[in-house]
């Protein structure tokens, strides 16, 4: 009797179980699907290198859902990677990191450096096939200044354009960006800006189509159908939280050079999930690699580490004792074993920082800024930690705190993500060596940012990843009035050097001024550089023709998939 | 019955209002804001953004504006996902979570109830012990462990199941397994103990004495009484499961609502915090009313007042 009951119960369970499965997909054939699953499973696993219809779709992972892919609104690097493939600015940055033509074929600067003229290519088109003219750039750049749009990068990219101050208050037509004809764009600056070319290649200044924005408002950049672009690819499908599928833009001027039919950006948020997807072959390139896997990946051909322009540094609150004393600041800086931090604690995903400005920043003559700094020598010899430590102890004694005696206990404030906590624990240990008692305060990110900005800390984690490769992008941070000057470093000489770099048109003089600024910063220990940022990622050797730039961008537009 | 439902709806409105009010003021007390970023944006841009979304107004006025809009069904624009309204986000993401969650609840019920019954009927036997062990595991093992093990085994190593997104029915298998593990185990345990309780009742003995067949007594008498605790549990469980799990959706890259709850709070996306909270609160209240009505159907002795 009981057996019968159990058998019946089990039977019902199975029936329900099957019908429940049916509700999920569009299969109602029950058991039949079971036999197909294994063969289909292997098909799916090959998805990374193309779809069944013979189209060449590259499947990659750069990050989770971007907050926005409106060029004017974006301020994040993952959004920037999307924009890079969807839009093309007047100019572009080539594989060597040099300025190259984009939508503009040629460009010139007036002798006083104030007038920039860009000549657009013939027959430029939007992804919907309509014509793109210089007027579209005028509209787009004015839109960036629109207070209603509230573009976070407005001041960075257009602050030096004549009429910007009026435009940002609402009088958009005051902005001196003029279309002389359909193919000529003239920009008048209020102060010379030798690196304006880099800004003309900056994603915020991408052209956007007036028609779609007028028709769809802010929502234009949230749906594939209304997201009109002008780059090598256009968004053909966007399922937020799942994927962004981009298709080759046949209207792009250089469409013949594009080999892929599409790129699928998988919006995977979890590093373990993206690693699984990479291992299964569903995705051919992943940016989010689980850090615990790094030791086993090092040395593999498909594991890449490449510098990006940016430095992980510590802010010392210069308004508080004892950081007002230069010797204390220098001692704290020298007591850090940067080689150990970058290569051991951070597993080589960072590089030890001997300067404030690391690799990737371009000097005025096109060479690496870091190579020319401090007469070609590093400011801090990261390979001689023992010597540095001795020097640190001596400096602290000079400041009147021999072996840390008399020094008040200080606090290090950081948020908890990535390696921040490990670094905090290390600092506690390292500074104890010179007699400094350090307390660590871990704060949630959203609370951390305003705390740091308002100077409510002793020492704090900080970092900057550059927007464009002109050194002023990072050196500006330490100017007295800069909004990102969290340590409140204020040095008249430094400000003067930076002012000089802004006003001069002579590349050599400008380079000198910029290097002088870094010299002062490092001599004064205005902040404590610890490590240079790198990108590290996994990429299958099936991908050919792609490159990674120090901006943190992966260029897949000219990539191909080897069979 | 109708009067009862009307009363419950009235009460529900008050509850949702209270939840909304509390959430509104609490979230504004937390430091930080939606327009903060590692790189400071210019004061003009911040001011313009705050003006655009009305965050420059006094808090109480913001509250009135919000409640006024919400009553008319306008939950505002998301502050972080610019260009999307809160309603749009919920309508876009909820169906995905509801589908995955709904299937998981069905699986949990169809596995949990029979297995719980079997365990009760086979009390003390091997099968009972086996089910108990599985149930204990199901309750003890956190979902991210289950997700990772599944992903590693079936995705990365065996390459049997796709790991990203929800493009085919095969994509549903791992998330559903991960999501239904805990409720299945819980229902099994609930069912087992309440079934044991019922089986020991006098009326079961009477039924047996009267010569009612085991099958009939089990389904007609025992199951109906024993299932009540499960019904109580399923209501809120359903509400939570269909609104999506943060962990499961994150690991399997499911474009559902689960991530929005956490994402909204971390990003201080005030309108989205409000929208998702009100949505979840409403859903839970509705499920509780439904549970009460189902009670009445299962057990006519219960009176709804």
Q: Tokens 């003021």: give the residue.
A: B25
Q: What are the pLDDT digits (tens) for A223-238?
A: 999 999 999 999 999 9
- Kindly compute the dihedral angle of the four CA atoms of residues B125, A10, B149, A542, in this order, to the nearest 10 degrees: 150
- Residue B85 CB partners (closer than 8 Å, separation 6+): B75, B76, B77, B78
Q: Tell me whether residues A240 and B215 touch, CB distance under 8 A.
A: no
Q: Distance between CA A298 and CA A302 in Å, rounded? A: 9
Contacts of B31 in chain A (CB under 8 A): 446-447, 450-451
Question: Is B93 in Cβ contact with A241 (below 8 Å)?
Answer: yes
CA distance A441 to A443: 6
Interface test with B, best of A34, A270, A309, A477 (most B CBs within 10 A): A270
Note the pLDDT of residue A275. 94
CB proximity list for B25: less than 8 A, separation 6 or greater: B59, B63
CB atoms closer than 10 angstroms to residue A300: 9
Contacts of A154 in chain B (CB under 8 A): 42, 44-45
Burial level of A103, CB count in 10 A (0-12/13-18/19+)? buried
Q: Indicate which of A80, A237, A280 best probes the interface with B, i.e. most B CBs within 10 Å of its own CB.
A: A280
- Alpha carbon distance A225, A222 (integer Å): 9
Q: Looking at this predicted complex, what is its ipTM?
A: 0.85
| Six-digit token string for A159 | 């602050």
Q: Do residues B116 and B190 lie in contact, with contact meaning Cβ atoms separated by under 8 Å?
A: yes
CA–CA distance from A357 to each of A3, A506, A511, A519 (Å)? 77, 21, 13, 11
The answer to whether the CB atoms of B163 and A273 lie below 8 A apart is yes
Q: How many angstroms separate the CA atoms of A58 and A561, rounded?
A: 7
Q: Retrieve residue A558's tokens.
A: 């000219």
* A374 backbone φψ class: left, alpha, beta (φ>0; ψ -120 to 50): left
- pLDDT tens digits, chain A, 563 residues: what are they? 444 444 444 444 433 433 333 333 333 333 333 333 333 333 343 445 544 567 899 999 998 889 889 999 888 888 999 999 999 999 999 998 889 999 999 999 999 999 999 999 999 999 999 999 999 999 999 999 998 888 888 888 999 999 999 998 889 999 999 999 999 999 999 998 989 999 999 999 999 999 999 999 889 999 999 999 999 999 999 998 899 999 999 999 999 999 999 999 999 988 999 999 999 999 999 999 999 999 999 999 999 999 999 999 999 999 998 899 999 999 999 999 999 999 999 999 999 999 999 999 999 988 999 999 998 899 999 999 999 999 999 999 999 998 888 999 999 999 988 899 999 999 999 999 999 999 999 998 888 988 898 899 999 999 999 988 899 999 999 999 888 899 999 999 999 999 999 888 899 999 999 999 999 999 999 999 999 999 999 999 999 999 999 999 999 999 999 97
Could you give phi then psi for residue A428, rounded to 5 degrees?
-55, -45
Tens digit of each residue's pLDDT (9 = 90 or more) over B177-194: 999 999 999 999 999 999
Question: Which residues, at least 6 apart from B153, have a Cβ–Cβ distance to it below 8 Å?
Answer: none
How far apart are alpha carbons A549 and A84 in whole angstroms? Answer: 12
**Closest CA of chain B from A400, distance in Å:** 36
**Three-state DSSP string of A39-78:** HHHHHHHCHHHCCCCCCCEEEEECCCCCCCCCCCCCCCHH
Burial-class residue A111 by CB neighbours within 10 Å (0-12, 13-18, 19+): exposed
> Three-state SS for A120?
strand
| Three-class SS state of B256 | coil
- Residues A552, A126, A144, B275: what is their CA dihedral angle, to the nearest 10 degrees? -80
Q: How close B303 comes to chain A (CA, Å)?
A: 31
pTM over 0.90: no
Residue to test with chain A: of B161, B162, B253, most A Cβ within 10 A: B253
**Interface with chain B: mutation pick from A36, A44, A478, A483, highest number of B CBs within 10 Å:** A44
| Residue A266, strand partner residues | A243
CB contact under 8 A, A241 and B155: no
Would you state the pLDDT for residue B200? 87
| Mode of pairing for the β-strands spanning A285-286 and A528-539 | antiparallel
Q: Which residues of A touch B38 (CB under 8 A)?
A: 449, 463
> Least CB-CB distance to A266: which of B36, B99, B164?
B164
Size of interface A-B (CB pairs under 8 A): 216
How far apart (Å, rounded) are the C-alpha atoms in residues A85 and A232?
A: 6
- Longest CA–CA span in chain A (Å) reads 101
Chain A 354-413, residues with CB within 8 Å of chain B CB atoms:
none
B-chain residue closest to A462, CA distance: B38
pLDDT tops 70 at residue B46: yes
């Amino acid at each position: 009797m009981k057996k019968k009951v159990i058998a019946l119960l089990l039977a019902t369970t199975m029936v329900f179980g099957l019908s429940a499965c049916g509700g999920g997909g569009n299969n109602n054939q029950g058991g039949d699907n079971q036999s197909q699953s294994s063969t289909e499973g292997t098909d799916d696993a090959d998805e990374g290198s193309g779809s069944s219809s013979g189209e060449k779709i590259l499947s990659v992972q750069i990050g989770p859902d971007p907050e926005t892919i409106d060029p004017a609104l974006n301020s994040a690097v993952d959004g920037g990677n999307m924009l890079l493939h969807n839009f093309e600015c007047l100019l572009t940055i080539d594989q060597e990191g040099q300025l190259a033509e984009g939508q503009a074929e040629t460009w010139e600067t007036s002798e006083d450096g104030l007038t920039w003229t860009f000549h657009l290519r013939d027959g430029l088109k939007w992804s919907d096939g309509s014509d793109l003219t210089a007027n579209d750039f005028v509209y787009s750049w004015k839109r960036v200044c629109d207070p209603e749009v509230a573009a976070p990068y407005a001041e960075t990219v257009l602050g030096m354009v004549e009429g910007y101050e009026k435009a940002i208050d609402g009088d958009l037509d005051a902005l001196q960006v003029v279309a002389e004809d359909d193919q000529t764009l003239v920009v008048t600056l209020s102060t010379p800006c030798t690196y304006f070319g880099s800004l003309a290649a900056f994603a915020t200044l991408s052209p956007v189509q007036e028609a779609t924005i007028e028709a769809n408002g802010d929502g234009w950049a949230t749906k594939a159908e209304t997201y009109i672009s002008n780059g090598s690819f256009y968004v053909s499908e966007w399922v937020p939280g799942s994927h962004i599928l981009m298709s080759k833009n046949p209207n792009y001027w250089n469409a013949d050079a594009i080999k892929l039919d599409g790129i699928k950006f998988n919006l995977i948020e979890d590093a373990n999930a993206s690693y699984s997807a990479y291992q299964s072959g569903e995705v051919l390139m992943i940016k989010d690699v689980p850090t615990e896997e790094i030791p086993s990946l090092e040395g593999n051909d498909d594991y890449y580490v490449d510098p990006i322009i940016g430095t992980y540094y510590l802010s010392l609150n210069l308004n508080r004792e004892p950081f007002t004393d230069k010797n204390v600041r220098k001692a704290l800086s020298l007591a850090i074993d940067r080689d150990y931090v970058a290569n051991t604690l951070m597993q080589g995903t960072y590089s030890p920082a001997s300067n404030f400005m690391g690799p990737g920043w371009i000097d005025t003559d096109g060479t690496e800024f870091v190579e020319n700094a401090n007469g070609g020598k590093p400011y801090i010899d990261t390979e001689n930690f023992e010597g540095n430590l001795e020097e640190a102890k001596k400096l602290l004694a000079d400041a009147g705190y021999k072996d840390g005696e008399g020094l008040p206990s200080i606090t290090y404030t950081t948020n908890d993500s990535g390696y921040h906590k490990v670094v905090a624990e290390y600092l506690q240990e390292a500074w104890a060596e010179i007699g400094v008692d350090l307390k660590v305060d871990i704060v949630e990110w959203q609370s951390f940012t305003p705390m740091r900005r308002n100077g409510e800390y002793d020492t704090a984690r900080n970092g900057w990843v550059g927007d464009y490769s002109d050194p002023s992008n990072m050196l500006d941070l330490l100017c007295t009035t800069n909004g990102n000057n969290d340590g409140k470093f204020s040095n008249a000489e430094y400000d003067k050097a930076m002012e000089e770099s802004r006003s001069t048109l002579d590349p050599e003089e400008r380079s000198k001024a910029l290097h002088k600024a870094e010299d002062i910063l490092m001599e004064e220990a205005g902040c404590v550089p610890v490590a240079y940022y790198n990108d590290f990622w996994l990429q299958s050797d099936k991908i050919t023709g792609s490159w990674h730039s120090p901006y943190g961008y992966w260029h897949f537009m000219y990539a191909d998939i080897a069979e | 019955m109708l009067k009862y439902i009307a009363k419950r709806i009235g009460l529900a409105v008050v509850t949702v209002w209270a939840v909304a009010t509390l959430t509104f003021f609490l979230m504004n007390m937390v430091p930080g804001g939606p327009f903060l970023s590692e790189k400071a944006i210019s004061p003009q841009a911040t001011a313009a953004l705050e003006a655009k979304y009305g965050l420059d107004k006094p808090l109480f006025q913001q509250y009135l504006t919000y409640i006024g809009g919400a009553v008319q069904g306008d939950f505002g624009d998301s502050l972080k996902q610019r260009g999307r309204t809160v309603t749009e986000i919920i309508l876009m993401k909820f169906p995905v979570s509801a589908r995955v969650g709904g299937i998981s609840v069905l699986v949990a019920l169809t596995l949990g109830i029979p297995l719980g019954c079997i365990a009760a009927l086979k009390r003390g036997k091997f099968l009972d012990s086996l089910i108990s062990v599985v149930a204990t595991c199901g309750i003890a093992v956190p979902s991210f462990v289950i997700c990772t093990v599944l992903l590693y085994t079936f995705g990365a190593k065996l390459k049997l199941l796709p790991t990203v997104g929800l493009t085919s029915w095969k994509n549903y298998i791992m998330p559903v397994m991960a999501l239904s593990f805990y409720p299945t185990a819980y229902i099994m345990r609930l069912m087992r103990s309440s079934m044991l309780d019922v089986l020991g009742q006098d009326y079961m003995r009477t039924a047996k004495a009267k010569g009612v067949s085991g099958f009939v007594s089990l389904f007609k008498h025992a199951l109906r009484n024993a299932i009540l605790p499960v019904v109580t549990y399923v209501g809120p469980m359903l509400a939570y499961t269909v609104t999506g799990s943060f962990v499961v959706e994150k690991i399997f890259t499911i474009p559902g609502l689960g991530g929005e709850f956490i994402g909204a709070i971390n990003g201080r996306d005030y309108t989205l915090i409000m929208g998702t909270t009100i949505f979840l609160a409403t859903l839970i209240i509705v499920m509780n009313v439904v549970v009460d009505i189902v009670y009445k159907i299962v057990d006519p002795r219960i009176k709804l007042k």
